[in-house]
Structure 1
Amino acid sequence: MAKKHLIYKKDKWNMLTVEVHGRQLVLREISDQWGEECHTFLGRPEMMQWVSQRFPKEQFAGNEEEWDQLMAAFKEV
């Protein structure tokens, strides 16, 4: 059975979840702009590399607390 982690959910149109299927991680990002995007990673290091490119810390200038919460949620996966 896959374990599902909710990384963030702002509303039903803006959320990000990660499902763990053994070593495989399936990340689903749903946004009101782009619809649903699905990414499959073969391990946590690969996922964290994607995360660092998708959510660069500079993008959260002035809101570092939100970035820290996001990274903490990913690290719990």
Structure 2
Amino acid sequence: MKKIEVFRKDKWNMIHVEIQGKQLVVREISDQWGEDTHIFLSRPALMDWVQERFSAQRFEGSEEERLSIIEKFKEV
């Protein structure tokens, strides 16, 4: 299993991707919502989710930070 950190604000707010064979497991950890786990069977499915989850309208942060997160997902 390979673990890739995509975003980390502090020890309670982070996003990382685990590559488990054919599956890509995204874990969003937040001090407000706890942990959300998303499982994808392909990179295109992951990137579709990333484009929706980190759309310019929904993202609360700078455009530079949003683009940085999307780029890190593309490297997975």
Q: Residues of 2 paired with 1:51 and 1:66: CA distance? A: 14
Q: Whose helix proportion is higher, 1 or 2?
A: 1
TM-score, normalised relative to structure 1 = 0.88
Q: Is there any run of 5+ residues in structure 2 with no aligned partner, and where?
A: none
Q: Which deviations, in whole Å up to 9, do the C-alpha atoms of 1:9-28 show, x marking residues without a partner?
A: 10111000000112210010
Q: CA RMSD in A?
A: 1.7
Equivalent residue, structure 1, for 2:4: 5
- The alignment of Structure 1 onto Structure 2 pairs a total of residues equal to 76
- What CA distance in whole angstroms lies between the structure 1 residues aligned with 2:71 and 2:15? 14
The one-letter code matched in structure 2 to 1:34 is: W
Q: How far apart are the structure 1 equivalents of 2:13 and 2:35? A: 9
1:23-42 residue CA offsets vs partner (Å, 9 max, x unmatched): 21001000011000111100
TM-score, normalising length: structure 2: 0.89
Percent of aligned pairs with the same residue?
Answer: 55
Tell me, what secondary structure is at the counterpart of 1:53? helix
